[in-house]
């Protein structure tokens, strides 16, 4: 049985670029951004002696959750894009040949 994946002979892989640093830094920026976005909600809990601020804590929580979801989606999209670039820069593979039944030049 032949190999499952045959590398294309003579293909040179591209050197790693900015996408690797993006993938390495993604967990750090996800955590730091999440903590920064959650800060207003934590601060309203700490400074809850003011009744005007305590009354708006529900609205602040809703806005924080919406911003957090938007931030996570943005980070996820950036990471997917960087991962696709890593896959595209990898080695090329040759597919198995198969006979084409409907071609431009029929046999008969």
Mean pLDDT, the chain, whole residue set: 84
- Domain layout of the chain by residue ranges: 20-91
DSSP state of 85: H
Query: How many CB atoms lie under 10 A from the CB of residue 44?
Result: 19
- Percent of the chain exceeding pLDDT 90 equals 45
pLDDT at position 38: 96
Q: Could you report the per-residue pLDDT of 25-34, keeping only the tens digit for each?
A: 999 999 999 9
Whether 67 has a pLDDT exceeding 50, the answer reads yes
């Amino acid at each position: 049985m032949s190999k499952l994946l045959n590398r294309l002979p003579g293909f040179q892989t591209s050197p790693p670029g900015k996408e690797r640093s993006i993938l390495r830094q993604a967990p750090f920026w996800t955590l730091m951004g999440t903590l920064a976005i959650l800060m207003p909600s934590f601060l309203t809990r700490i400074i809850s002696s003011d009744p005007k601020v305590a009354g708006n804590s529900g609205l602040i929580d809703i806005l924080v959750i919406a911003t957090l979801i938007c931030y996570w989606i943005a980070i996820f999209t950036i990471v997917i894009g960087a991962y696709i670039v890593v896959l595209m820069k990898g080695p090329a593979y040759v597919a198995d040949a198969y006979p084409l039944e409907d071609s431009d030049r029929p046999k008969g």
